[in-house]
Structures are given as structure tokens and as C-alpha cells.
Amino acid sequence: MTKSLDALRHSCSHVMADAVKRLYPEVKLGIGPAIENGFYYDFDKKDGFTPEDLSLIEKEMIRIIREDGKFEREEITKKEALKLFEKELYKTELINNLDSPTVSIYRHGKFVDLCKGPHLESTGQIRAFKLLSIAGAYWHGIETNPMLQRIYGTCFESDKELKEYLRVREEAQKRDHRKLGKELDLFSIHEEVGPGLVFYHPKGALLRTLIEDYVKQEHLRRGYEIVMGPHILKSDIWVTSGHYEYYKENMYIFKVEGEEYAIKPMNCPAHMLIYKSKIRSYRDLPIRYFELGNVHRREKSGVLHGLLRVRGFTQDDAHIFCLPSQVADEIKGVIDFVMDTMKVFGFTDYKIDLSTRPPQFIGSADMWDRATGALKEALDSKGMTYEINEGEGAFYGPKIDIMVKDALDRPWQCATIQCDFALPERFNLAYISDDGKKERPVMLHRVILGSVERFIGMLIEHYVGAFPVWLSPVQTVVIPITDRSHDYAEKIHLDLQNQNIRSTLDKRNEKLQYKIRELELQKIPYMLIVGDKEKEAGTVSLRARKEGNLGALSLEDFLARIKKEISVKQ
């Protein structure tokens, strides 16, 4: 977001807060920052807001914009600020928590707010805005604090940009994986057992199995070995890895017979212990361990979102132990793996970040410099465009993050490659070099899909639930027109299953057009309709999801068609 767009949206949030105070003087103000796609403001309103309120607030905002009030910045003392905001309990809390003896405020018209800026020159410069939604938000994001009402909005420099954003947003709502997941009977989440825990229904579990089977085969083909670690490990291991110090608040920790354990949030300690289970030679390296590892993280309920943010998920996780001289080639191999895999799943556009040393880290600065240099060398050698994300690396190493863009050009975090010199030292990993000395391997942490749950959610939204044939849980449905053709339909169905085509048989006593409409909503790739005519001719009447009615053809011709689509991953 550019500085000018940030100032525009920040100004619009102030105008919204002014409108709310004019309409509902009893409301208490929280905070109202600009965010990536717009802005929001948090309010404490006793009876909350309704969608009808948004329309009234928008009209009041238009009046404020027409007044063309000038945004004016003032620097006042904390004492003056506390007096000015004495009726605003959330503002006074913010002021009391400031270290500075002075406070920055902004005025326009009669409205004043605690703010650092930046802002436009006047309210009249706001042209294109829209209030979008209402949500609950705990003050400071802490669940024990009061629940406030958050109004989201967006603002652009032109009506054209606003209309395009709203069009894409509407399309995104149609693609919402939570809505489609329910309609397509793929998964559910049950609050009575706990938020962020996914139940896969038969079709969703099959979709996940198809993805995981492909991923396993590709790892084996590329020289990885499959390993499996336990779901719980003693806390001592997490102390050694650094997770206990840097990640404890996100871990599920409990005691058994007086000893403390943690459910794993990561797979790396188990893989290092497997590596360490015997003496390794330089001739053994690189060693590539892969695991579809189930992990659990104690995410706050407020950030959970369908499959995209959950508490229990599966990572296609791997750790590569290699010689320092092998690091660059291994990183390049992982990048190729990512690109090849994403292309198979229909993604060809990317955004790449290189995240560097954070304020809190383990290991030495020299280790970090070498690790960052190795990642940068690999990206540069492949001619890849990337951005430096200063201070956003993991606590144990810098990382490459590869975000893929979907059909709406939205970036999704998938692959991560982390170069780690620190954990091999903490776990005292070693290999015997060619001169007989013990040396330390370098460890690369990497995922290709990332979270399998998030990847499935992303696929649902990218394809609007209409998965390519090779990924469709149900590839064909055979529909007999009358009872007389049931036996022929059953034969076709069994022949398809024997050819490893995922087929179902719809013998319900419903009208044909009703069945077709229902199956179209279920995004079924192919319907094979059979009646007396088809039974006599030994054919099927084919209806395709993309092309509609394709007429009669033999089962052999249909099998050739669908097998070709499956083989080329269409």
C-alpha cells in the first residue's frame, strides 16, 4: 500500500468515526487504522450495529466529506490529552500507556482523535469509499477484554478502482471455501468439540488423499525418504530446539506422571533425532526426510478461519541435512519442486519474499549471514524476482516464502524454505568428513504445499469447487432415465470403477432435469445418461461440466477421453 493510499484510508476511518459519533454520541471510540484492503474502526456501542446502520453512517460520511473540513495536526501534553478524551475510556488507556510526554492529535471540523497520521489535507479529498461489514473484535485482541464492534470499509482514489475491488470481493465471496465446503459436503467444523478442528467428510477426505498421494509420490521420485515422528515429545526437547522459549504460548503443554510433554507444533526435532540415531558420513549427504506431519498450534479463536487458519493441521514437511557445499543446489532443487508442483495444481504466478534475521533469534550473526547468503544465491542464480522482508525470518533461520496467486490474483502463502545453521548445533548433529573429523551439517526446513488444510481451502476458492478431473472426488455419475435401464447403468458404473474411474450411480426416483441441475451444483465433471436408446446401442449420452451436452458415444471413447485428462492432470 502506497503512502498516499494509506493517508486516504486513514482519513476515511476518521470520517467514519466522526459520522458514528454524530449519529450515536454515546458510542466510545477504539482505534481505526488503515489496512491492506481498506480500513476499520473499533467502537463500543451497547446494542451493537446492524447492516442498516452502515447505510446511515455512509450518508453521514458523505455530508462530512462535503463539508471539506481541514485535517489539522496538534501536539499536546499527556495531561491535556487526558482532559480532552476524559469521556473516552479506550483513548485514555492508550494515552496512559504512552512513554512520550506529548501526544499527537488530528482534528477535522469538531471531531478530534488521538492519531499519528498521516492524513489528507481535507475531508473533501475523499472520493470513492464503501463500508463493507461488521465484526466483533476484542480490545487489543485479548479475549478477556471487552468485545467491541469493528466496522470495515474500503477507500480508493477513483470510482473505477472501487468498483473493481467490490467486483473482485463479490467474486471472492462466491468462492468462499467455507460456503462451498458445506455445499459440496467436503468438511465441517464443530464448535462443540473445539474451534479450528476439521472433520473431513467422505468427499473431502478423498480430495485430501488424492493430494497427499501425489505429494508422496513426488517426494519419493525426488530422493526423499518418508519418516514419521510421535505427536508428543517431552518439553526438554522443545527447550533444546528453542520452541519452548520463543513459541511456548502457541503450544499445547501437559503433564504425564510428573513429566511435562508438548503436542508437536513442528516436525523438525523428531527429524533431527532420527538423523542423530546413527553415525553419518559425508558420503550419506544430502539426506532428505519427509513427513506428512500432523501438528497442533494454540491459535486464538479470533484468528481461526475455516481451513485457512486452524488449530490442527498437516504439513508436507521435510528437512534436508547437507554439506555446506550442497546447500545452494538443494535450495534450487526445492524451488524447482515448488514450481513444478504448483503448476500441476493450476498455479503459475508467484510472489517471493526473502525474510531476514528477526530481533530475537538463536545462533550467531555469522551463521545467519551465511544462511541468508545461501538463500539469496539460490534465488539470484535462478533469476527470480523477490523482495527483502527485513526482520521476518523464523527464530532459527532466514527463509524464502513463495506465495502463489489464484484466479483472483490473491496471494496465498504455501512454500517456505528455511536455511538453518543453529538447530544442528543445538542438537549436536554431525557427520564424518573425508578427513575423518566430525563436522556440522546444514539443515534446510521446507514445505511445498505448506498446510494441507490451507492448501485445500485455497484450491476450493481457486476452482470455485469445480476441481480438475484428476482431483474431483466424484469424476462421473451414471444416471439411468427409467427403471428399465437400471441394469445397463449398473454395468456402466461397474466398468468405470474397474477402470479406476471414481463413479457413482444415481438411481433416485427423481426427474432427469432435477438430477442434472443438482449434479451441476455439485460440480461433477461428467454425467453419463443412459436410457432405452443408449442401452440398445451400447452407448452413453455424455454431459460435460464445461461443455454441456456432447451427445452419444461409446464407453471406450469416453474412457479414452477421461483417462487422457487424468494423465495430464486436467
Catalytic status, residue 319: yes
**Residue 8 identity (one-letter amino acid):** L
Which residue out of 149, 315, 326, 522 is catalytically annotated? 315
Task: For residue 257, give the 3-state DSSP assignment.
Answer: coil
Catalytic status, residue 174: no
Which residue out of 21, 175, 296, 319 is catalytically annotated? 319
Q: How many Cα atoms are found within 13 Å in the side-chain-facing hemisphere of 441?
A: 27
Catalytic status, residue 190: no
Q: Which of 459, 431, 449, 237 shows the shortest CA–CA distance to 325?
A: 431
**Residue 275 identity (one-letter amino acid):** Y
**What span, in angstroms and rounded, lies between the C-alpha atoms of 380 and 365?**
22
Which residue out of 219, 399, 446, 523 is catalytically annotated? 399
Catalytic status, residue 47: no
Q: Which of 408, 407, 398 shows the shortest CA–CA distance to 377?
A: 398
| Contacts of 51 by beta carbon, 8 Å cutoff, 6+ apart | 134
Which residue out of 297, 357, 454, 462 is catalytically annotated? 297
**Residue 350 identity (one-letter amino acid):** Y
**What span, in angstroms and rounded, lies between the C-alpha atoms of 500 and 562?**
11
**What span, in angstroms and rounded, lies between the C-alpha atoms of 85 and 158?**
35
**What span, in angstroms and rounded, lies between the C-alpha atoms of 426 and 277?**
15
C-alpha cell at 149: 464492534
Catalytic status, residue 414: no
Identify whether the C-beta of residue 415 lies closer than 8 Å to the C-beta of residue 402: yes
**What span, in angstroms and rounded, lies between the C-alpha atoms of 90 and 150?**
14
Which residue out of 445, 446, 523, 543 is catalytically annotated? 445
Identify whether the C-beta of residue 384 lies closer than 8 Å to the C-beta of residue 335: yes
Could you tell me the CA-to-CA distances from 35 to 8, 59, 154 in Å, in that order?
11, 23, 9
The secondary structure of 415-478 as a DSSP string is: EEEEEESHHHHHTT--EE-TTS-EEPPEEEEEEEEEEHHHHHHHHHHHHTT---GGG-S--EEE
Catalytic status, residue 462: no
Which residue out of 115, 155, 268, 419 is catalytically annotated? 268
Catalytic status, residue 14: no
Which residue out of 317, 353, 406, 506 is catalytically annotated? 317
- Helix H or strand E segment including 506: none
Q: Which residues are catalytic?
A: 268, 297, 315, 317, 319, 399, 445
